[in-house]
Chain A
């Protein structure tokens, strides 16, 4: 598994300038590996799991930027002895609901689902939705990871930022501090820390 990851890293490194399909693929895989490592360096409250056999629930919210690479990377992997289940949730589209109440209900239901997750990967969401989501799950034991530079200032706990073919980790101290999920300082050493303390 680690050999695979290593291969990914090695193969991903040369393709920097031109965004080829392969290159994108590599980045995706890299992100998937990072995400997995994030889970390894994070701890959740005990009551966030129903029992010892309960899997870690990863919910991809928004655009599925990593796609199948995620599935491939996480397939048959276990973190902290738990299997990983991947859910993909799209935010409710306002237009689809006739009534705002319905929309809100749907949104609330989505939020609830997100709150039930252990890791939420945000990608491709607008400012408003992002903020709404952050507010909604702030008090739940959820590791909020943003995929992209735009989430750095939005109080996501960790962000994966592509930089010249490499992935940088950004960490928001305040968000990390307020969250029920504890992220290992060793991970944070590798990250670029943002946000006020």
Chain B
């Protein structure tokens, strides 16, 4: 089960080499995103689109807020 984390934990995981993934549509990603994040919109999240991710490193996903 995915682990919910807060802002401090995000920063700690990033220091340890985690990957950041925004799952909002591309226009919202272009508007604003966390430094270093890549965009894989939820609607396109499949075996093909996740090839950009390293399976050996933690992955942090986020969207705008608690929606």
Is A bound to B? no
